[in-house]
């Protein structure tokens, strides 16, 4: 069914990197969610009224919130697909994250409202009217939610959409919640225990917990996440595989939403090489990797002296000193600047966010090591954070 809908309503559905195709995936998911959730909502509320079950009514209202979420998804994908403009030169793709965040807030609000209603039902329980037809309809509703979850998660993975995957996860949680309500009704019928209000509270708490988890998942990319390790590895391998590349460092990746990834990298090249040939190589790397990985890549070339014995010795000594320190990842851009009374040894040290060693301590360790080579050496270190 999922594949049939995608093939029927999305032209060129395999080209998921195309912004128009991506938008159509989101719109299809939104329409499917609106129709199916409104159907579930009306069905459950009617059943709940017939058998006097606050838990089923609560679950139906949750489906109404799901329908509202699908409307937000529909609008969010349409707005996220807007091209860049003067005020937003990096596009509007992050609106998809904002729509997911809004959905999460709605879910939490509905959860608290249902918790209040269900708690009142615990204090003032009512006898449920067992209706086999209603039970069978609930089982059918669970089956629809299982399909909803599979549809949204599948579509979300195809286009790498946090919002759709979150919606699918919410549908999966609804399956668990509705199953719990159904179990409460069956247990109540078999034991004469009034579990409806308690199960309603359980459903409400589950909804609140799901909303909080969804906020964490949708807010994370807005705050700024570490880049996808697979993307980092692909960039590294794509650059290092080129003849003439001696090393790479300072890879920084910024995401402005799905399909809006910008990256910059420093590429080490032979300082004695032909400048025009090196520049042409850098241009080719930028274009080919940008096309292959669907990113915007900018490369900066760093000249490296490959035949200077002094720099080679210093590099070996400094690298050994840094390797012994936890949280220090490496070094680059080593330069030697002679002076009248001392010689500046200038380089960048890359440290991780987990590094607990003070910068002054690192400088002290490096200075002691290089002064064993020459007492006039003095280290000037620029500390870089590892962003990838």
Question: In degrees rounded to 5, what are phi and psi of residue 334?
Answer: -75, 130
Given a cut of 70, the residues of the chain with pLDDT beneath it are: 55, 126-130
70 and 101 in a single domain? The answer is yes
**CB 380 within 8 Å of CB 365:** no
Q: How many domains does the chain have?
A: 3
Q: Please give the residue range of the domain that contains residue 49.
A: 2-223
Q: Are residues 291 and 314 in the same domain?
A: no
**By the 8 A CB rule, do 54 and 197 touch?**
yes
**Torsion over CA: 184, 186, 188, 190 (sign):** negative
- What does the alpha-carbon distance between residue 285 and residue 292 come to, in Å, rounded to a whole number? 10
Of the residues 273, 303, 333, the one at which a domain ends: 303
pLDDT at 317: 94
Residue 293 · residue 239 · CB < 8 Å: no
What is the per-residue pLDDT across 231-243, written as a single tens digit (0 to 9) for each?
A: 999 999 999 999 9
Residues 173 and 297 in one domain: no
- The model's pLDDT over 85-133, given as tens digits with 9 standing for 90+, comes to 888 888 888 888 888 888 788 878 878 887 887 888 788 876 666 677 7
- Choose one of 193, 223, 253: the last residue of a domain: 223
Name 165's Cβ contacts closer than 8 Å, sequence gap at least 6.
Answer: 152, 153, 156, 157
Strand order in the sheet with 328-338: 328-338, 343-351, 377-385
pLDDT value, residue 308? 87
Domain identity same for 80 and 208: yes
Task: Give yes or no: residues 53 and 139 share one domain.
Answer: yes
Residues 252 and 148 in one domain: no
> How many angstroms separate the Cα of 96 from the Cα of each of 62, 209, 388?
22, 22, 24
Main-chain dihedrals φ then ψ at residue 322, nearest 5 degrees:
-70, -35
Q: Identify whether residues 251 and 363 lie together within a single domain.
A: no
Kindly state whether residues 187 and 113 are assigned to the same domain. Answer: yes
Retrieve residue 110's tokens. 């509905």
Q: Does residue 124 share a domain with residue 7?
A: yes
Cβ distance 66 to 207 under 8 Å? no
- Are 219 and 231 contained in the same domain? no
- Same domain assignment for residues 244 and 218: no
State the pLDDT at residue 284.
95
- In the prediction, which pLDDT does 121 show? 78
- Which CATH number is 327's domain given? 3.30.70.1350
Residue 340 C-beta-side C-alpha neighbours within 13 Å? 0
Nearest CA to 116 out of 207, 216, 215, 214 is that of 207
Residues 203 and 323 occupy one common structural domain: no
pLDDT value, residue 55:
66
Last residue of a domain, one of 167, 199, 223: 223
């Amino acid at each position: 069914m999922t594949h049939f809908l995608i093939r029927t309503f999305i032209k060129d559905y395999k080209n998921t990197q195309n912004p128009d195709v991506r938008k159509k995936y989101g719109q299809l998911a939104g329409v499917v969610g609106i129709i199916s959730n409104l159907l579930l909502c009306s069905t459950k509320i009617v059943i709940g009224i017939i058998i006097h079950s606050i838990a089923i009514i609560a679950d139906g209202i949750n489906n109404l919130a799901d329908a509202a979420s699908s409307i937000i998804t529909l609008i969010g994908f349409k707005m996220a697909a807007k091209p860049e403009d003067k005020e937003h030169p990096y596009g509007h793709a992050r609106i998809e994250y904002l729509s997911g965040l809004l959905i999460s807030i709605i879910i939490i609000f509905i959860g608290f409202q249902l918790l209040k209603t269900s708690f009142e039902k615990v204090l003032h329980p009512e006898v449920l009217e067992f209706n086999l037809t209603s039970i069978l309809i609930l089982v059918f509703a669970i089956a629809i939610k299982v399909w909803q979850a599979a549809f949204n998660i599948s579509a979300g993975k195809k286009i790498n959409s946090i919002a759709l995957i979150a919606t699918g996860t919410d549908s999966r949680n609804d399956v668990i919640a509705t199953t719990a309500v159904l179990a409460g009704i069956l247990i109540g019928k078999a034991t004469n225990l009034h579990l409806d209000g308690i199960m309603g509270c359980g459903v409400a708490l589950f909804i609140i917990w799901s909303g909080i988890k969804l906020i964490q998942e949708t807010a994370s990319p807005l705050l700024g996440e570490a880049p996808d390790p697979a993307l980092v590895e692909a960039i590294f391998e794509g650059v290092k595989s080129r003849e003439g590349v001696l090393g790479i460092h300072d890879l920084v990746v910024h995401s402005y939403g799905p399909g809006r990834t910008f990256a910059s990298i420093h590429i080490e090249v032979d300082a004695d090489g032909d400048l025009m040939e090196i520049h042409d190589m850098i241009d080719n790397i930028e274009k080919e990797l940008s096309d292959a990985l669907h990113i915007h890549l900018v490369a900066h070339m760093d000249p490296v002296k490959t035949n200077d014995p002094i720099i080679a010795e210093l590099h070996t000594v400094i690298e050994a000193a840094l390797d012994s320190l936890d949280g220090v990842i490496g070094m680059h851009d080593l330069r030697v600047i002679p002076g009248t009374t001392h010689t500046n040894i200038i380089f960048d040290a890359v440290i991780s966010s987990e590094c607990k060693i003070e910068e002054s301590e690192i400088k002290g360790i490096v200075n002691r090591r290089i002064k064993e080579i020459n007492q006039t050496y003095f280290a000037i270190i620029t500390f870089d954070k590892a962003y990838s």
